[in-house]
Amino acid sequence: MVSIYKAKAKAQGPQHLTLTVERWDHEAQSIAYHDGKICFVQGGLPGETVKVKLNEQKPQYNKGKVQTVLNASPLRIQPACPVAGQCGGCQLHYVGAQDSLTLKQQAVAQLLSHQLKITDLPWQPALSAGNTGYRRKARIGIWYEKSTKQFQVGFRKEQSHEVLAVSECLVLSPVIAKVLSVLHDTLPKLKHGPVITHAEVFDADGQAYVIVRHIKELTAGDVELLRQSWPEAYWYGEAEPEQLTPWQANTPEPSYSLALSGREPLRLAFKAGDFIQVNAAVNQLMVEQALQWLAPTVDDNILDLYCGIGNFSLALAASGAKVLGLEGVPAMVKRARDNAKANGLANCEFAHVDLHLPWPKAAWNKPDFQKILLDPARAGAPGAVDEIARLKPAQILYVSCNPTTFARDAKVLLAKGYRIAKIGVMDMFPYTSHLEVMALFDTVRQ
């Protein structure tokens, strides 16, 4: 008889640890150590002693979540949100928004100083605005439980696909906050309510829009019930991804405005499914700071990469500079062109380019740009930063929603002879672990 040897599973360590938090990392995780091993902990504050339940144990690290605070930080507060710690939307309601911004900025500064080997980065004041009612766009989870014939309306639970029922949300814009109660009250009245899987809602400068995602067609009666449940809002149905059907005749195109010094505000139109910055107030501050740092003039040729619908491009062009915006999504390119025309900006052009591939031979692909702005997605701009450096602009303004990929791309620019002249953070999402970065690179050596 053959005897098959099976290696005995290596015993894990204790499932609960008592730890002292040293600091936050750039993802707002608490950092502590146990027997020399680093522990990443959710829910702790620097200086606290906490009891932690481990959910992952690896040879190099542990991961866990605070179960009990044994010695609380003076920064710890009672969350104002009744579902804090359960809802996956916000992670940091146990600390005030200003204190969490300070801790997040310290963590990002430490990450970048370590990654870039620069101890004295030229930090500028952080950009922040209101801490509540700031989200002008949100995705609402909907789940129909067949056994109870009840709907769950709210947001995904923390680290879960399950929907947590939420009756109100502190960070939703007051214009769209009503959506939670509207859907909660109306879905049970629909004939085919269970075919609705989620909804998206957004605030377009004070006007509410709702997109209802449904996997089968709704009856005319169901559509009318939804419309009448919130008649002030404009409703769309989405039976297939990106195929939106307005439920009202003559539905106006959504748009938002950007105020500019010395001229009429810009108005940027967008489609219901387009990407726009979630925090309108911080977006305004971010565009203003970009203009201040780049100081565009009528003599400048400026390249705007990952330009979207023209959030930065139009503001730069309004200063008199000649601007070319590049974007990888053809529909967004069309939107940007339409926005430039609607705002009377003939000095602003747009083109469709996949910026992560080797750049094509084109009339624009030559070192004629004095200044370049890029605002990539979380993956950053791998490959594109090499192409940018090849064009040798005098200044590069990098707007990032991911400090880790920013650090990777910044290393490339630093190696190509650039330096960081200014850098700052933007608190686009208070009460969450996210923090945006803006950095101005130039070729001047001190």
Which pTM value belongs to this model? 0.93
pLDDT bracket for residue 402 (50, 70, 90):
very high
Indicate the number of domains in the chain: 3
Same domain, 259 and 353: yes
Average pLDDT, integer, range 217-246:
94
Same domain, 283 and 430: yes
Query: Within a domain: residue 94?
Result: no
Is the model more confident about 164 or about 4?
Answer: 164
Domain range enclosing 240: 137-246
The percent of residues above 70 in pLDDT, for the chain, comes to: 96
Same domain, 268 and 155: no
pLDDT bracket for residue 150 (50, 70, 90):
very high
Examine the pLDDT at 2 and tell me if it is beyond 70.
no
What's the maximum distance between 2 C-alpha atoms anywhere in the chain? 90
Average pLDDT, integer, range 36-49:
96
Question: Do the beta carbons of residue 152 and residue 165 sit within 8 Å?
Answer: yes
What integer pLDDT is reported at residue 262 of this predicted model? 83
Query: Within a domain: residue 96?
Result: no
Query: Within a domain: residue 37?
Result: yes
Query: Within a domain: residue 106?
Result: no
Same domain, 123 and 182: no
Same domain, 383 and 276: yes
Same domain, 46 and 152: no
Query: Within a domain: residue 399?
Result: yes
Instruction: Please give the distance of CA 304 from its chain centroid, rounded to a whole number.
Output: 19
Examine the pLDDT at 208 and tell me if it is beyond 50.
yes
Q: What's the CATH number where 147 sits?
A: 2.40.50.1070
Average pLDDT, integer, range 56-80:
95
Query: Within a domain: residue 93?
Result: no
Same domain, 406 and 259: yes
Residues 310-329, buried b or exposed e (16+ Cβ, 10 A)? bbbbbbbbbbebbbbbbbbb
Region at 115 (left for phi over 0; alpha for psi -120 to 50; beta for the rest): alpha
Same domain, 237 and 270: no
Same domain, 359 and 434: yes
Catalytic residue ranges = 401
Same domain, 372 and 283: yes
Same domain, 280 and 409: yes
Q: What's the CATH number where 70 sits?
A: 2.40.50.140
Tell me the per-residue pLDDT of 408-445, one tens digit each, with 9 for 90 and over: 999 999 999 999 999 999 999 999 999 999 999 999 65
The crossing angle, in degrees rounded to 10, of helices 403-415 and 97-116 is: 30
Q: What's the CATH number where 378 sits?
A: 3.40.50.150
Look at residues 193, 226, 246 and tell me which one is the last residue of a structural domain: 246
Same domain, 319 and 239: no
